[in-house]
Structure 1
């Protein structure tokens, strides 16, 4: 199964590609719209600032490709910043419009009794443990690095949370669209098994 990893100039493409390859799938890094839409699944990684990422996606036309992929029910996974980009808007360095594939906003941690950025291993709590993404899995720890977090408008889109001074959105999903705020490829066995379960959805 061919998995397109979106190259828009902002993302840890190599580590994600290696993880996909280890799981027995065929990753390819591309900025080509037709290649993405022909793939069995799409991964949108992301490292950096929300506004810069959306500017890159818009200038390359890949914002429209991501929306079309979702409309075609192509399995799509956003990782870290990539998950945040799926939502309506972010307040990072001013207000920026997102892909608006999922309704919701991205806001900064308020800080206080906890450090910002949120960096380290935190335990997942499955909001919908019966979801296919969690097949055969038990709750455990994954690795986060972020200063902003997502507030989904629809509770039904929330698949898992973690606690960091407050409940924090960790995994979202609706239809064929998924997001993981943490880095599954850097999150040990649980992260790799979550990535595997997403990739398995591309087989169906």
Structure 2
């Protein structure tokens, strides 16, 4: 049986190293395009949302490009979306930077707040404690290391549903000063605080896992 190459759009809204994401996804076997075109972003097998810089600025750039609407529509149809770094952070309810609160997409409750550590930013390689049954981290050793560059994170996770049939999100943690959310798998919506495209063989395996789930 012939395998079909999965199409992935890297959403280009002005915030994120889209070229390195494109190269990493292509090496992992995807047919990749960098665009903010609405129809292409809606129809691709997977949508990757990168993000660098300030939470509020990323949110503004995303909404200006109609990315918030695209993400919502894709998730309503259970079409896969993956966020990276600030592209993960904006999926939460709010971000707080320099005492100023900005509204996020609200896919998950919680606040993105300053890291509580002696050294900030958290820049470099770190291990994670993968969630049980994770598909994203399948095939990776427990001591696999990933590349982080961030000064803000989600330290408290709270997700409740009244639907007993709904599967709880799988949450992966890392620690810098204190534990923070390093990745989430929630139905069609996956995200990482670290940069898989900069994480060598471990990151390549992770992206292969995501593409394989599409």
Q: Please classify the TM superposition score into its range, dividing by the shorter chain length.
A: over 0.9
Describe the superposition over 1:103-154 as per-residue Cα deviations: whole angstroms up to 9, x where unpaired: 221111133xx201111111111122x2222222212111101000023322
Structure (1 or 2) with the greater helix fraction: 1
Q: Choose the corresponding residue for 1:149, options 144, 149, 153.
A: 153
The alpha-carbon deviation at position 158 of structure 1 amounts to 4.4
Tell whether 2:21 aligns with 1:28. no
What residue is the counterpart of 1:79 in the other structure?
84
Q: Choose the corresponding residue for 2:62, options 57, 61, 64.
A: 57
Between 1:95-104 and 1:34-43, the stretch displaced more is: 95-104
Q: 2 CA distance for matches of 1:19 and 1:182?
A: 14
Q: 1 CA distance for matches of 2:141 and 2:72?
A: 32
Q: Choose the corresponding residue for 1:132, options 135, 141, 160.
A: 135
Q: 2 CA distance for matches of 1:75 and 1:110?
A: 32
Point out 4+ residue stretches in structure 1 off by more than 6 angstroms: none
Describe the superposition over 1:25-51 as per-residue Cα deviations: whole angstroms up to 9, x where unpaired: 111011112111100000000111110
Q: 2 CA distance for matches of 1:40 and 1:96?
A: 30
Q: 2 CA distance for matches of 1:33 and 1:8?
A: 12
TM-score by length of 1: 0.93
The alpha-carbon deviation at position 62 of structure 1 amounts to 1.6
Tell whether 2:108 aligns with 1:105. no
Q: Choose the corresponding residue for 2:126, options 109, 122, 140.
A: 122
| Structure 1 portions without partners, runs of 5+ | none
Q: 1 CA distance for matches of 2:66 and 2:30?
A: 26
| Structure 2 portions without partners, runs of 5+ | 1-5, 161-167
Describe the superposition over 1:131-186 as per-residue Cα deviations: whole angstroms up to 9, x where unpaired: 22222221211110100002332284343111211112111111110110000011
The DSSP-based 3-state class of the residue aligned with 2:141 is coil
What residue is the counterpart of 1:160 in the other structure?
172
- How many residue pairs get matched? 199
